[in-house]
Amino acid sequence: MDEGRPIFVQIAEQIENDIIGGALAEESQVPSTNEFAAFYRINPATAGKGVNLLVDDGILYKKRGIGMFVAAGSRDRLVQKRRDEFQAEFVQPLLAEAEKLSISPDQLAAMITGATTITQKDRT
Amino acid sequence: MTPAVEVTNLNKRFGSVHAVNDVSFTVTENKIYGLLGRNGAGKTTLMQLLTGQDFATSGSIEVFGASPVENAAVLQRLCFIKESQRYPDNFKPRHVFATAPWFFSHWDADFAERLVDEFRLPVNRPIKKLSRGQLSAVGVIVGLASRAPLTFFDEPYLGLDAVARQIFYDRLLEDYAEHPRTVILSTHLIDEVSDLLEHVLVIDEGRIIIDEDAEELRASATTVSGLRPVVDEFVHGREVLHRAGIGGLTSVTVRGLSVSEREAAASKSLELAPVSLQQLIVRRTGSTEKEFEQSA
């Protein structure tokens, strides 16, 4: 766990990542609070808080006596949410830094296109 | 629900030393507490008072609703693992584990045996011949396998290597999840245990200076760094926990920031860094402020 940020938020993000990445499919069961606690070596109450965050958001739902499941449509909702966050957390700072270094939006666009081509070459 | 521990205006003096100074707090049942503080802060004294092993100078202590002093009904629900527990001279670890069920009604002998294997503890070696780490392992095994409703661990891992400490943390979490109980873990290895704790009590010079939910505490401070005038303007009017600087740069640790304040800081090119529980406690219990001023 990353120091300084609330652990339950990190647990929630980790579960979200697993849903976005497909490791946790929609309608599949997620590990129990105690399993999360043991795996991440954190207090079970903290793990429970992280899971509840996603229950409140409607990403996970409870089946009484069975456990916690990924809600249908969660993946699309999370991707949309992450895209909005991407704008605030990555694009805005990128633009601010570019401005500080006098990189024009066109130059920045060219740099991004260039970098994309390189990554694509790496893949092939 | 009766709290596990309720302490009101507790004082303990040793001559001129005020080891516990007007302390009041409550321990909620079935949580893992961290009792943190520097050496000599009063952690062990406080635990001795809570377990009825020493008498308070004044104030009241209730453990499961009653005074622990000479009270068998309370004491049989407690397990106190001391930093340097003494055993009868000819004892071997197997004697300790054989006698444990006499004192702990929830003792799980199978669990103790599994822990012995994991810690690779030689159960037939005289206790006086055990290494410091092995001696600590005996205490940790008793503390875990006793499953006492209220368990105190006072610096339980002196001499335990990194592997053994990790076994301790893992088994504590697993067993706590299956058999919820109240655990008070006293330590100065704050970074290692911070993720295990649900609530934090920090004692400094005999006083409780922090009594907070671990998650809230973690989010309660941020370090702001950047050019001195900009930082100074930004932190103006806030509670400053720590300040360090070199030349024209400075970094200041302040209490919590809202999302809009974070954005404001970012727009002024200030860097924000999270503060770990350990750093936070160091900053609140140490009074040193370091400034490497350049003499003009």
Cα A68 from Cα A108, distance rounded (Å)? 44
Name the pairing type of β-strands A60-63 and A67-70.
Answer: antiparallel
More confident position, B291 or B79: B79
Provide the 10 A C-beta neighbour count for residue B5: 21
Phi, psi of B61, deg, nearest 5: -130, 125
Q: DSSP assignment of B28-67, as one string?
A: -TT-EEEEE--TTSSHHHHHHHHTTSS--SEEEEEETTB-
With bands split at pLDDT 50, 70 and 90, how would you rate the model's confidence at B287?
low
Residues of chain A whose C-beta is under 8 A from some C-beta in B? 1-8, 33-34, 37-38, 40-46, 49, 93, 96, 100
pLDDT at position B290 over 60: no
**Is residue B55 within 8 Å of residue B19, measured between CB atoms?**
no
Question: What number does CATH give the domain B219-292?
Answer: 3.30.70
* Closest CB to A44 among B177, B214, B276: B177
- Taking the C-alpha atoms of residue A6 and residue A18, their distance in angstroms, rounded to an integer, is 19
pLDDT value, residue B158? 87
- For residue B58, with 0-12 CB atoms within 10 Å meaning exposed, 13-18 middle and 19 or more buried, which class applies? exposed
- Residue A2: what pLDDT? 62
Q: Using CA atoms, how far apart are residues B100 and A109, in angstroms rounded to an integer?
A: 71
The reply to whether CATH 1.10.4080.10 applies to domain B5-217 is no
CATH 3.30.70 residue ranges in chain B?
A: 219-292
Question: How far apart are alpha carbons B158 and B143 in whole angstroms?
Answer: 15
What amino acid is encoded at A5 in this protein? R
Model confidence band, residue B292 (pLDDT cutoffs 50, 70, 90): very low
- Averaged pLDDT score across all residues of chain B: 89
Q: Chain A within 8 Å of B193 (Cβ-Cβ)?
A: no
Q: And the tokens for B68?
A: 């622990």
Instruction: Select the more confidently predicted residue: A1 or B118.
Output: B118
In Å, how far is A118's CA from the nearest CA of chain B?
31
Q: Which of A95, A7, A19 is nearest to B216 (CA)?
A: A7
For residue range B118-172, list pLDDT tens digits in order: 999 999 999 999 999 999 999 999 999 999 999 999 999 888 999 999 999 999 9
Give residue B14's identity as a one-letter amino acid code: F
Residues of chain A found within 8 Å of residue B275, distances taken between Cβ atoms: 4
pLDDT of residue B222: 86
What architecture is the A7-72 domain classified under in CATH?
A: Orthogonal Bundle (1.10)
Residue B178 contacts A, CB cutoff 8 Å: yes
Mean pLDDT, to the nearest integer, of A75-95?
A: 91
Give the distance from CA A50 to its chain's centroid.
Answer: 13
The answer to whether B173 faces chain A, any CB pair under 8 Å, is yes
Q: The pTM is what? A: 0.83
Contact residues for A9 (Cβ-Cβ < 8 A; gap 6+): A50, A53
The residue in chain A having the minimum alpha-carbon distance to the alpha carbon of residue B168 is: A41
Arithmetic mean of pLDDT over chain A: 89
Q: What is the pLDDT of residue A122?
A: 64
Q: Residues A80-97: what's their mean pLDDT?
A: 89
- On whether any CB of chain A is under 8 Å from the CB of B32, the answer is yes
Name every chain B residue with its beta carbon within 8 A of the beta carbon of A10.
none
Written as one string, the DSSP assignment of chain A is --TTS-HHHHHHHHHHHHHHHTSS-TTPEEPPHHHHHHHHT--HHHHHHHHHHHHHTTSEEEETTTEEEEPTTHHHHHHHHHHHHHIIIIIHHHHHHHHHTT--HHHHHHHHHHHHHHHHHHH-
Query: What pLDDT shows up at residue A1?
Result: 60
Res A37 pLDDT > 50: yes
Compare CB distances from A43 to B198, B219, B276 and report the shortest one's residue.
B198
Residue labelled with tokens 């303007």? B233
Q: What is the chain A residue with the closest CA to B197?
A: A43
Interval B29-44: pLDDT, tens: 999 999 998 888 899 9
- Output the pLDDT for position B280: 86
Note the pLDDT tens digit of each residue in B187-230: 888 888 988 999 999 999 999 999 999 988 887 888 899 899 88
Q: Can you tell me the distance from the alpha carbon of B168 to that of B162, in angstroms, rounded to the nearest whole number?
A: 10
pLDDT band at A117 (very low <50, low <70, confident <90, very high): confident
Coil vs helix vs strand at B135: helix
Across the strands, what pairs with B274? B222
Smallest CA-to-CA distance from B265 within B276, B251, B277, B275 is with: B251
- Residue written as token pair 């590990």: A31
Helix (H, G, I), strand (E, B) or coil at B8: strand
B207-213 β-sheet, strand order: B78-81, B150-154, B182-187, B32-36, B199-204, B207-213
**Residue B263 contacts A, CB cutoff 8 Å:** no
Q: From the list A4, A37, A45, which residue is nearest B218 (CB)?
A: A4
Tell me: the pLDDT tens digits for A48-57? 999 999 999 9
Q: Name the band, by pLDDT with cuts 50, 70 and 90, for residue A4.
A: low
Of residues A8, A34, A100, nearest to B215 (C-beta): A8
Helix (H, G, I), strand (E, B) or coil at B179: coil
Listed in order, the ranges of chain B carrying CATH 3.40.50.300 are: 5-217
Which position has the token pair 């766990």? A1
- The pLDDT of B179-186, averaged and rounded, is 96
Q: Which residues of B touch A6 (CB under 8 A)?
A: 215, 218-219
DSSP, collapsed to helix, strand or coil, labels residue B251 as strand
Q: Which of A3, A8, A42 sits opposite B274 (nearest CB)?
A: A3
Q: Is residue B18 predicted with pLDDT exceeding 50?
A: yes
